[in-house]
């Protein structure tokens, strides 16, 4: 099973939202990372057929979306960033409605509905109206509907936005359970959501892929460039102005700084093991700071 993105481009007037993106995706979890406005949602909407590429093609097992037609969409599950629920529906009613939209027969629809509501821990609330649900419950219902047709390709756009830490952990575990033998693309700007479950990182910036790397080697490019050291508060302000500071923490009257720099920023700096958040800040920290200054 393979999903091929070939030279995908999406142009809006003079603005290029996605610029010449290519990738060969096989079963596994892909963490699609990037700052807001990087082109993640536009890319995912093209994969889902909601947007038509300006140029390039999307192929599944060697055939284009156009050649496959409805067969492609039957293999697709999608949870958009802003998912629209019918507030007066119960979760069970909503799932059966979505099953009908996806073309599932009534027997399979009922079976899948009950199994998925149990899997996302909503069985006890299945007959409550969705308008009474918390944000986390709605997100769990969102991923359940995306799984109704047992898709081969599962697209999740910012699925943990607005959730508290406990719900985010629960949601990540759900994604891991659903990911077996599927191509899962998880788009987010929350680094911790993908660092523990992604097999491969796809990092986007200004509409293009900065990198496509296995999680095991993704931080190799910044090894030897992450440092930690203690300074007083006045010196900390100076370092924050002059360096890319990933983290700042007050400890015993001093400030612990975590900095990305090619060479040791001071004598007492100790080299630290890089993480995905360090890599994200290495590529996006300066850009975000400039946007804030504007």
pTM of the model: 0.87
The range of the structural domain enclosing residue 11 comes to 3-214
- Specify whether 80 is located in the same domain as 163: yes
Segment 42-77, tens digit of pLDDT = 999 999 999 999 999 999 999 999 999 999 999 999
- Specify whether 190 is located in the same domain as 260: no
Which of 190, 214, 238 is at the close of a domain? 214
- Decide if pLDDT at 290 tops 80: no
- Specify whether 243 is located in the same domain as 101: no
Task: State the pLDDT confidence band at 244, using cuts at 50, 70 and 90.
Answer: confident
Strands 55-60 and 63-64: antiparallel
Give how many domains the chain has, as a whole number: 2
Let me know: does 156 contact 139? Beta carbons within 8 Å. no
Segment 114-156, tens digit of pLDDT = 999 998 889 999 999 999 998 888 888 998 999 999 999 999 9
CATH number at residue 55: 3.40.50.300
Token reading at 57 = 């093609």
């Amino acid at each position: 099973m393979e999903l091929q993105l070939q030279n995908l481009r999406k142009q809006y007037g003079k603005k290029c939202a996605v610029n010449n993106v290519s990738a060969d995706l096989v079963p596994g979890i892909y963490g699609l990372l990037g700052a807001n406005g990087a082109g993640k949602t536009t890319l995912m909407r093209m994969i889902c057929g909601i947007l038509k590429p300006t140029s390039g093609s999307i192929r599944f097992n060697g055939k284009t979306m156009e050649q496959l037609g409805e067969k492609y969409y039957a293999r697709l599950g999608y949870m958009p960033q802003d998912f629209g629920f019918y507030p007066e529906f119960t979760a069970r009613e909503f799932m059966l409605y979505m099953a009908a939209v996806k073309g599932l027969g009534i027997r399979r629809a009922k079976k899948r509905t009950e199994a998925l509501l149990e899997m996302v821990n909503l069985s006890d609330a299945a007959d409550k109206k969705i308008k009474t649900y918390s944000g986390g419950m709605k997100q769990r219902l969102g991923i359940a509907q995306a799984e109704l047709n047992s898709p081969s390709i599962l697209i999740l756009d910012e699925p943990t936005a607005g959730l508290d830490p406990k719900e985010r952990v629960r949601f990540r575990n759900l994604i891991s359970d659903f990911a077996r033998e599927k191509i899962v693309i998880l788009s987010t700007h929350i680094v911790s959501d993908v660092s523990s479950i992604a097999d491969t990182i796809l990092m986007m910036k200004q509409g293009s892929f900065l990198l496509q790397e296995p999680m095991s080697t993704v931080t190799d490019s910044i090894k030897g460039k992450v440092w930690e050291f203690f300074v007083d508060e006045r010196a900390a302000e100076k370092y924050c102005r002059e360096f890319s500071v990933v983290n700042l923490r007050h400890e015993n009257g001093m400030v612990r700084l975590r900095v990305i720099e090619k060479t040791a920023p001071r004598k007492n700096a100790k080299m630290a093991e890089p993480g995905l958040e360090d890599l994200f800040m290495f590529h996006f920290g300066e850009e975000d700071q400039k946007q804030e200054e504007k």
